[in-house]
Structure 1
Amino acid sequence: MMVQQERAVRTRRALVRAAAEAFAEEGFVPTTLSTISRKAGVSSGALHFHFASKHDLARAVEAAAAEAVRHITGQADQRPGSALQRLVDATHAVLGSLERDVVVRAGFELVTTAARRGGAVGVVDLRGQWQRWVCAVLHTARQQGELAGGVSPADAAGAVVAASVGFEVLSVTDPAWVSRHTLSQYWELMLPRLAAPGRLAGLVPGGSGPGVLRPAPATPEQTTP
């Protein structure tokens, strides 16, 4: 029984990753279930045992991507010190995941196809999840006296999220948009406007050190049918 469960978990992981690769390469609408099963190296019957439809696979990809983002922001929340630096570090980690992890990349790209997939029922709002966290950490920065006078946490969150989504969309055709260099340049421009006097010198636009936040590979849930 244990061996069968482990095999089922491996098959499900392979299918979610194959679906993510196909969605990222071809888009949700053109991708077929046969393409996904072929990429995963499993039979059509095995695919249908785990997922009833392409829509279910899309939801599984989004759920895996959402868990990867929660892993990053959860690590950031546990770090002491500057809330603004936590924001910088998490942004580097999230956008870096778009470059390195096809499941995260496909999860974000699927947000734009929600309407063509029959509405938002059951769809993970990855961008909304990211926006809520950014807004929360900027409110913490305000409470810690880190924000410059006249800077609203909500307005600042809007600017950060808009830039993040813009980089994400642009990276579909040019991965350089989510590179550490590009994001560091963005924070070099943004931080002087956000940070209170006396706080800017302690902030690192390029992230406060390699490996501070380690994005976990996006993997589907461990449960089996």
Structure 2
Amino acid sequence: MVKQERAARTRESLVHAAAEVFAQEGFTAASIAAISQRAGVSTGALHFHFDGKTSLALVVEERAERTLREAAAVAEGRGPAGGPLRVLVGSTYALAEDVVVRAAFALCADAAHSSRVDLRGQWRRRAEELLVEAERAGLLAEGVSPQDATRLVVALTVGLEGLEGGEPGPGARQLLTRIWSVVLPGIASGEVEPEVLVEAFAAKETD
């Protein structure tokens, strides 16, 4: 049992380390040596768990896909009133603070890596679903279409992996708060209080 737990911890460390290296250096520049060093294990230990960086990248993408599915469910129970816009904003915070998600978004756009997961497409579809719901509920500003709002939201949130040095955590969350503070008043109707909604999530993320 102890050996199994140790093996599981090593595997998790390698996945997290690989995500950090992929997010910062890209797939091509990422090396097995750099990933091993960051995880605090030997390259032999890495190869015991994974065939190489391609298999690590695939696991990173699978983990990110699961996080994307879970993000909306987590956001449902947090934040002030705002319905689908609350869920949308909350989901972006959940994604921004997760280095595995940030790395997977970068991998999807990396021509050197053949991704098996269309994470960007999944996020785009989920964001559009929420914005369509928001329109039906009268929560979008007049003249704002769900499709246009989706393009803006996805471009801004997915692009976070290229900002702040690719690092997740407080820096990324603060940047996301500034982005939403500018964007949300432009797409939300008078039924929504953008400052209250954004500040509630920003405060919860830094508690």
Structure 1 pair 136/109, CA: closer, same or farther in 2 (3 Å)? same
From 98, 112, 116, give the equivalent of 2:112.
116
1:185 and 1:44 map into 2 onto residues whose CA distance is 40
Q: TM-score, normalised by structure 1?
A: 0.74
Matched to 2:10, the amino acid is T
Q: Residue 154 in 1 paired to residue 155 in 2?
A: no
Alignment deviations for residues 146-184 of structure 1 (CA, whole Å, 9 cap, x no partner): 12333221221111111223333233379898342x434
Displacement of 1:135 in angstroms is 0.9
Structure 1 pair 135/207, CA: closer, same or farther in 2 (3 Å)? farther
The correspondence of residues 61-210 of structure 1 with structure 2, limited to 5 A, is: 61-78=60-77, 81-82=81-82, 83-95=84-96, 97=97, 101-113=98-110, 115-117=111-113, 119-120=114-115, 122=116, 124-172=117-165, 178-180=172-174, 182-197=175-190, 199-201=191-193, 204=196, 206-209=198-201, 210=203
Gaps in structure 2 of 5+ consecutive residues:
none
* Preserved contact between residue 168 and residue 177 of structure 1 (Cα < 8 Å): no
Displacement of 1:127 in angstroms is 2.1
Matched to 1:147, the amino acid is L
The total of aligned residue pairs comes to 203
Displacement of 1:134 in angstroms is 1.1
Choose between structure 1 and 2: higher helix proportion: 2
* Preserved contact between residue 149 and residue 187 of structure 2 (Cα < 8 Å): yes
The aligned counterpart of 1:55 is 54
Percent identical among aligned pairs is: 44
2:4 and 2:62 map into 1 onto residues whose CA distance is 21
RMSD: 3.1
Q: TM-score, normalised by structure 2?
A: 0.79
Secondary structure of the residue aligned to 1:154 is: helix
